[in-house]
Amino acid sequence: MVRAAPRVGLAEVLRRYGPAYLAAHPLSVAKAKVWRAILACRTAALGGHVEMCDACGTTRHVYHSCRNRHCPLCQTRAKEAWLAARRREVLPVPYFHLVFTLPHDLNGLIGQYPRALYEMLLGAVSATLTEFAANPRWLGGTPGFTLVLHTWKQDLGRHVHAHALMAGGALAMNGQWVAAKRGFLFPVKALSKVFRGKFVAALKAARQIRSCWSRSKRSCAASTNTSACVARTAAVASSCPRR
């Protein structure tokens, strides 16, 4: 009888090949924190506790988990709890799956300002779906959807995109449910065009805001008069566009 080879987890891979990889690939502070957490997860490094069966008295030692969101050992329970909560929200109607992806040309910018770009992406997706659903030509009501942000591919290369799980219909002003046409929600080309326009507009607005505040800071840096600096800052700030 041939025994199956023991399953090798990510932590074991990092232990075996990590030193050679780290010698050639220095990690950022954030990535190094994740690396250490995965290595320490469910080991003596994080301590543990003893569980005992009330019926037979059998005991077992259980090491604590790292609870890092990137750790594959720690996400099972969290994933199941999240899925259970989402299932309770599901309506008894057909659903549509849509994906909105940012071009890889923006990867460098995303690396510098990840939170801002993620917020722009999700904001543009939400606004686009809401606008299309409100249009009487398509649904004419308030939509129901869930957005999930993904930031990489299976090979861990940066690939920022948002998944949208949207109910096939909308709630009209009179409280009635307006069902989508069978097998059709929105025209893809029109949806893409509006999404792209909203995202680019948000990107330009953010650039203008950053440029505006940069001028304000330079103005202050060149001044030795505190009162004048405050006045100039207020004047520049009032002319800056709002997000």
**pTM, entire model:** 0.65
Least confident of 3-12, 86-95, 182-191, 195-204: 3-12
Instruction: Judge whether residue 217 has pLDDT over 60.
Output: no
Helix, strand, or coil (residue 67): coil
* Residue position matching structure tokens 């686009």: 128
Sequence-distant (≥ 6) Cβ neighbours of residue 9 within 8 angstroms: 72, 73
Q: What is the mean pLDDT of residues 36-40?
A: 93
Report the pLDDT averaged over residues 160-171: 96
What type of residue sits at position 144?
A: G
Domains and CATH numbers, the chain: 1-49+62-69 (no CATH), 84-209 (3.30.70)
* Range scoring the smallest mean pLDDT among 99-103, 152-156, 187-191: 152-156
pLDDT of residue 68: 87
Q: Which tokens in the block code for residue 55?
A: 């019926």
Please report which confidence band the pLDDT of residue 224 belongs to, taking 50, 70 and 90 as the band edges.
Answer: low
Mean pLDDT of the chain: 86
Does pLDDT of 161 surpass 60?
Answer: yes
Task: Express each pLDDT in 79-123 by its tens digit.
Answer: 788 889 988 989 999 999 999 999 999 999 999 999 999 999 999
Does residue 63 register a pLDDT over 80?
yes
